[in-house]
Amino acid sequence: MLTNPARLLVLDDDPDVGVAARLLLQRRFGEVRCLHRPAELDAALAQWRPDLLLLDMNFLPGHSDGAQGLTLLQQLRQRPGAPQVIVMTAHAGVELAVQALKAGALDFITKPWDHPRLLAAVAAALALRQPAAEALDDEPASALLGQSPPMQELRRLIAAVAATDAHVLVLGEMGAGKELVARELHARSKRSGGPLLAVDLGSLPDTLLESELFGHRRGSYTDARHDRPGRFLAAAGGTLLLDEIGNLSMAGQARLLAVLERREFTPLGADAPLPLQARIISATNLDETALFDPQRFRPDLLYRLNTIVLRVPPLRARREDIPQLATHFLARYAAEHGRAPRPLAAAALQALQAHDWPGNVRDLRQACERAVILAPGPQFEPGDFQLQARAATPAMAPGLTLAERERAALDEALREAQGNISEAARRLGVSRAALYRRLEKHGL
């Protein structure tokens, strides 16, 4: 069962594309609905409020310039609460891709798509969802909630740094809010009108690194059937988030360092370099001891990335923020799921503040959504948040379900690895990709 299902909408004039997308995506991400005419889009956005739109670029016979898709993107950009957009087309070209990304698309997929590439693009788009989505009329200007001293200091630093083009390194545990910090930096910067793109380096194999970041020209390798812009080009004029950079291989670190030193990159199969015109924000849950270990991370690359370092505090270090966060999430999910608002019992609030939340704010958010859906009483009680199951370890209290045991093992491995994904995967004897799937499944 999906712990945080998303709503995906596909707008494509070919019904077979919609069916293929639904079969591929619904088991992993949530409900997928399909439309075939642009005229149906407004009603679907208003009534269903999807988290992500997969948008074809051409709808009229004989047209392949993408003009219709670009027009829809521009209209969506003016719409409050519009979903993230991944554009799709069978008529790919670097110029059209860059136009779409500058018009507000988050990513660009060529049809027929490569399954892993589409899955990765959708996962990245959903990871950048506004966590405090516009379900409430009184949504704060900043999604970084909390008035504790650590959060006030973090917001002060963001305000000071955002207007510059300095590279920023964001440190913090899983689920603490590193992506929100990157979003806040971008929104407050002079690049806010450009794209905010992300690439998860922790799940990207070395064999795909250059194609994903640099892009490629048609024929540059066996399966390169079309030109494809990499993230460096697509993020021009905006911000590129290099997530999980602590898990980048030493070879990948060397390639990235060369780009940052020269401020240029060369797409695979191209003859000339292109200028790097994106601001770089990096993020990692690697602890600083490991990050400054030259056997794990190149010092010369680190010094290029950490002009400014922002540290996102774990939730256990700002327990005074838990009442505001919990109240916000409970109200948000009550509105989203059509449930009546309910108060928090004093004992429940005390239990939430006493809990260590190994998955941080993400963990609290999941617990609140589950409570909104499943709690039977007129107010939220401690048991509605399943804190005992969340605190379990592989020592295992008797009577735990298989899912609870798996979650407990994941919690324990992450704690022992101090949040490092590669180390946790090694301890569990699974691949990084498999661990990511399990973390997603349990909302960690």
Indicate whether 105 and 174 sit together in one domain.
Answer: no
Residue 384 burial class via C-beta count within 10 angstroms: exposed 0-12, middle 13-18, buried 19 and up: buried
Has residue 387 been placed in a domain?
yes
Q: 48 is written with which tokens?
A: 């269903």
Has residue 139 been placed in a domain?
no
Indicate whether 221 and 294 sit together in one domain.
Answer: yes
Has residue 370 been placed in a domain?
yes
pLDDT of residue 408: 76
Indicate whether 267 and 335 sit together in one domain.
Answer: no
Indicate whether 361 and 218 sit together in one domain.
Answer: no
Residues paired with 16 in a beta bridge: none
Interior/surface letters 182-208, b for 16+ CB within 10 angstroms, e for the rest: bbbbbbbbebeebbbbbbbbbbbeeee
Has residue 102 been placed in a domain?
yes
Has residue 240 been placed in a domain?
yes
- Domain edge (last residue) among 74, 90, 125: 125
Indicate whether 109 and 183 sit together in one domain.
Answer: no
Query: Distance between CA atoms of 358 and 14, rounded to whole angstroms?
Result: 45
| The total number of residues written for the chain in this structure | 444
Indicate whether 247 and 118 sit together in one domain.
Answer: no
Has residue 252 been placed in a domain?
yes
Indicate whether 159 and 199 sit together in one domain.
Answer: yes
* Residue 323 preceded by cis peptide, ω within 30: no
Element (H, E) at 101: helix 94-102
pLDDT of residue 49: 87
Query: Distance between CA atoms of 111 and 91, rounded to whole angstroms?
Result: 8
Indicate whether 344 and 412 sit together in one domain.
Answer: yes
Residues contacting 37, CB < 8 A, separation 6+: 13, 59
pLDDT of residue 433: 63
Element (H, E) at 357: none
Residues contacting 62, CB < 8 A, separation 6+: none
pLDDT of residue 395: 43
Has residue 1 been placed in a domain?
no
Q: 21 is written with which tokens?
A: 């997308």
Of 207, 241, 20, the closest CA to residue 119 belongs to 20
Q: How far is CA 123 from CA 170, 187, 257, 359, 440, in A?
A: 20, 21, 26, 19, 10
DSSP string, 130-184: -TT-TTSTT--S-S----SHHHHHHHHHHHHHHTS---EEEE--TTSSHHHHHHH
Indicate whether 321 and 416 sit together in one domain.
Answer: yes
Looking at the structure of the chain, the number of domains it has is 3
Contact 171, 288 (CB under 8 A): yes
Q: 389 is written with which tokens?
A: 């199951």
Residues paired with 308 in a beta bridge: 168
pLDDT of residue 131: 41
- Domain edge (last residue) among 93, 125, 157: 125
What string of H, E and C letters represents the secondary structure of 385-417? HCHHHHHCCCCCCCCCCHHHHHHHHHHHHHHHC
pLDDT of residue 419: 65
Indicate whether 427 and 368 sit together in one domain.
Answer: yes
- Domain edge (last residue) among 295, 312, 329: 312
pLDDT of residue 383: 92
Q: 409 is written with which tokens?
A: 């093992």
CATH number, domain of 30, equals: 3.40.50.2300
Query: Distance between CA atoms of 277 and 266, rounded to whole angstroms?
Result: 13
CATH number, domain of 337, equals: 1.10.8.60
pLDDT of residue 141: 45
Has residue 142 been placed in a domain?
no
pTM of model > 0.75 = no
Indicate whether 168 and 307 sit together in one domain.
Answer: yes
Range of the domain at 415: 317-442
Residue 349 burial class via C-beta count within 10 angstroms: exposed 0-12, middle 13-18, buried 19 and up: middle
CATH number, domain of 246, equals: 3.40.50.300
Of 50, 128, 52, the closest CA to residue 88 belongs to 52
Of 86, 290, 309, 81, the closest CA to residue 181 belongs to 309
Indicate whether 308 and 322 sit together in one domain.
Answer: no
Q: Over its length of 444 residues, how does the chain's per-residue pLDDT go in tens digits?
A: 455 678 999 999 888 888 889 888 988 888 999 999 899 999 899 888 899 999 998 887 767 778 888 889 888 877 877 888 998 887 656 677 777 877 778 777 888 887 877 887 787 777 665 443 333 233 334 578 898 999 999 999 999 999 888 899 999 998 899 989 999 999 999 998 888 888 888 777 777 788 888 886 776 666 656 677 788 888 889 999 999 898 888 988 999 999 999 999 888 778 888 899 999 999 998 888 888 888 889 999 998 998 889 999 999 999 999 999 999 999 989 988 888 889 999 999 999 999 999 889 989 998 999 999 999 999 999 999 988 755 544 444 455 555 666 777 787 777 777 666 777 777 776 666 667 667 766 666
Pairing assessment for the beta strands 196-200 and 215-216 based on DSSP bridges = unpaired
Q: CA 35, 40, 41: angle at the middle one, nearest 5?
A: 85
